[in-house]
Structure 1
């Protein structure tokens, strides 16, 4: 009986174990299915998320690209507008500048015409004749190879600013300024008709000293020099008869004029160039009219150290001698002097 009961219990236990085994296997399958299903859902969710992410990124890129296009278009429009405004401003400025330059040029031309008119008024026949002699001498030297064009400058009829002791500015007229590598020369031209008696003092005049008494002259020394000119004239007297007379004229002292002009020129050039060792040589040229040579002459009693010349040949010989001296200035310096002197006429 006991064996039977044990057998029954064993059978029941085996059945229960088998049932539990079956259930456990089903549970594992179910768990496996649930895991697979969950994994499948997770994969689908991940794919959906990636797709949405890609879609969002794509939409963002499109929005950003669109914004860039709009910005670039606005930038180009602003750039084009700025270029148009800038071109307009530039055009207006160029017009105003051109008008300003035209107005300035007209004023300069007017000023040059005024200066030319003033120069023309003070220019005399003697200065023109002297200028022609100087030009011919320079051309001859260039042809002979003893002088180069840039080594000698002839500047006629100019005005040098001169500050007086009272602080007033005046202008000193220069008949001819010669700029050479051997020196700087002020040429004072006197084209007087008649017989010129230069450097006459009371001591030299002798019995004719009374002629000097009525002439106003600075200084009271016994040997103060005077220059007088005897000019022959033909007149009709009260009876209608033709008579020859001699008129006596005093036109000033050319040597002192030349010295003063040379000094003013030296001071001005020294101030403009900072060259303290400059020296300007004064020269007086009595170029009386050749056509009236019989009625003209030159007597020189002066003891002055200023060079005095009375004929074309003497002037040319003087220039030849000076041109053979030692060179003191360079071509560049001569050009600088020339520009300074020419600009001085517009101050």
Structure 2
């Protein structure tokens, strides 16, 4: 793969993955970057994946966001209203404030989840639907699974794809932060994959998490060297095409 990145966030992710590869060579990392995976969604005939790692600990798909400002990860309008006390004690003053301060894109979300990045009061960006980072990476994971699952079944391999949103902008400025209202980011290792959460807000937290995975993941949940090589070869043949 090429190391000539134009996206600083994706380059930092690649460097971190290479560091983990060097730290844990026995895990047999195969790192893929900037993949385009065929999709059966007519709106999006292919889905872009920032980084995909195949190793003895599983398959990890990372959607990198190098965002400055206050990032509210995967929230709903009701979460914001609760934060400012809308409806509490019958008061609707907060709702008036929200309507004045937030863009109409937020107010139109209703019960749908979205991710919001506030760079300043005049620059508030809303990512909903397929543009919501967690939806992006989950849909990419589903597309990859559909593309390679039949072949893997023939080989007797049943890997689990772990999809994560990776916010990797690091700053001491308190205005640059990731707000995780539902406590779904930066989760510790657990034998239950469903408890691994939706991603990480800092590179150090992902490195720490992977160190736990390396130390604690039972062998029966991992992959053998032959299985890792088979999956990597299949991705080359069906996605990379080199």
Indicate the TM-score class for this superposition, using the shorter chain for normalisation. 0.7 to 0.9
In terms of fraction of residues, the more helix-rich structure is 1
Higher relative contact order by CA 8 Å / sep ≥ 6: 1 or 2? Answer: 2
Output the aligned Cα RMSD: 3.1
Deviations 1:274-317 (A, max 9, x none): 25743211111111144x74541111123656432111210101
Partner of residue 125 from structure 2, selected from 239, 243, 249: 249
Gaps of 5+ in 1: 1-111, 143-147, 233-244
Q: Bigger radius of gyration, 1 or 2?
A: 1
2:13 to 130, 134, 137: 130
Q: Which residue matches 1:25?
A: none
- SS of the counterpart of 2:217? coil
Mapped contact 2:77–2:107 kept (Cα < 8 A): no
Residue pair 1:266, 1:278 contacting (<8 A) in 2 also: no
The alpha carbon displacement at 1:120 in A equals 7.0
Tell me the TM-score normalised to structure 1 length: 0.52
Aligned residue pair count: 206
Among 225, 232, 235, the alignment partner of 1:331 is 225
Q: Residues of 1 paired with 2:173 and 2:148: CA distance?
A: 38
- 3-state SS of 2:135 partner: helix
In structure 2, the CA distance between the partners of 1:336 and 1:228, relative to structure 1 (3 Å rule), is same
Alignment of 1:72-83 (within 5 A): none
Greater shift after overlay, 173-182 or 302-311?
302-311
Select 2:199's aligned residue among 308, 311, 321: 308
1:1-347, aligned counterparts within 5 Å? 124-142=7-25, 148=26, 151-164=28-41, 170-206=45-81, 207=94, 210=99, 211=102, 213-215=104-106, 220-221=110-111, 224-232=112-120, 246-251=122-127, 252-274=131-153, 277-290=158-171, 293-302=173-182, 306-323=197-214, 324-327=216-219, 328-343=222-237, 344-346=239-241
CA drift at 1:333? 1.3
Task: Flag the 1:200–1:314 CA change in 2: closer, same or farther, 3 A.
Answer: same
* Larger strand fraction of residues: 2
3-state secondary structure, aligned to 1:173: strand
Deviation of the 1:246 alpha carbon: 4.2
Residues 325/286 of structure 1: CA separation in 2 closer, same or farther (3 Å cut): same
> Does the Cα contact within 8 Å between 1:212 and 1:226 map onto a contact in 2?
no
CA–CA distance in structure 1, aligned partners of residues 234 and 173 of structure 2: 39
Shift of 1:249: 1.2
SS at match of 1:249: strand
Q: Deviations over 1:191-231 (max 9, x none)?
A: 112111112222211136543742498x753xx32211111
Rate the CA distance shift 1:190–1:248 in 2: closer, same or farther, 3 A.
same
Cα pair 2:157 2:227 within 8 Å, conserved: no
CA deviation vs aligned residue, 1:145-182 (integer Å, no higher than 9, x gap):
xxx1x622222211222233x6x982221111111222
TM-aligned CA distance change 1:293 to 1:268, over 3 Å: farther
The TM-score, its normalising length taken from structure 2, stands at 0.72
